[in-house]
Amino acid sequence: MKRILLTLGSLALVFALTVPAASAQTAAAPATPEKPSTGPRAEFLRFMEDAESKFIKLAEKTPAEKYTWRPGEGVRSAGEIFLHVAGGNYSIMRRVGTQAPADFKTQGYDTSTTDKAKIIEALKASFEHVRKGALALSDADLEKSAPWFGNRQATYREILFYLANHQHEHLGQSIAYARMNGIVPPWTEEAQQRQQQAPPKKQP
């Protein structure tokens, strides 16, 4: 009986020592910020995620050999546009306090690789970086300001919407490149297929 009591006492001691440690680890784990449904960050994320979805789909559909295609001398190739957008996601988010990965270098990033898989990976990682940075801010943070073009200050809100504009500006450029190479944007193709599969409308 004495041995049983000693054993139970030992187990209780182990439990008492381990549970607080586990609880401390749980408490220390950073909570994932909730995605807002309203407000300026929610609006920004909707614009951003629209560009993200279309860029990834277009990058995946573009053949690897077309990544080096460019419409003329002195302009970016298809792959360089994708990398330019990824680089912009990192560099512009710095202005709102979201630091880029330690190995990111703005200079030469656009031409750092022509490998399709690596470029798609870079795109995905950069958009995830933007999403995490935006979620880490509060709507109140958007009233803060940072140095901006033209030796002036810009609010974080303006910087985020500039970033969304930058993404869509180059999305339009990428769509034009794709069309010039006979590539139908996947979301357009999906819409066309839905129209073809829809039952004919009844005549009144």
CATH of the domain at 110: 1.20.120.450
Residue-number span of the structural domain to which 99 is assigned? 40-182
pLDDT of residue 192: 80
Q: Tell me what the mean pLDDT of segment 73-98 comes to.
A: 97
pLDDT-derived band of residue 32, with 50, 70 and 90 as boundaries? low
**Which of 12-16, 53-57, 177-181 shows the lowest per-residue confidence on average (mean pLDDT)?**
12-16
Domain count, the chain: 1
Is 196 part of any domain? no
Is 31 part of any domain? no
pTM across the whole model: 0.80
Q: Compare 7 and 136 and report the one with higher pLDDT.
A: 136
Q: Is the pLDDT of residue 13 over 80?
A: no
Distance from C-alpha of 58 to C-alpha of 68, rounded to nearest angstrom? 15
Place of tokens 């590539």: 183
Distance from C-alpha of 31 to C-alpha of 48, rounded to nearest angstrom? 23
Is 141 part of any domain? yes
pLDDT of residue 194: 82
Structure token digits, residue 133: 């940075």
Q: What angle do CA 37, 90, 79 make, to 5 degrees?
A: 105
Q: Tell me what the mean pLDDT of segment 46-74 comes to.
A: 97
Distance from C-alpha of 123 to C-alpha of 33, rounded to nearest angstrom? 22
Is 122 part of any domain? yes
pLDDT of residue 197: 80
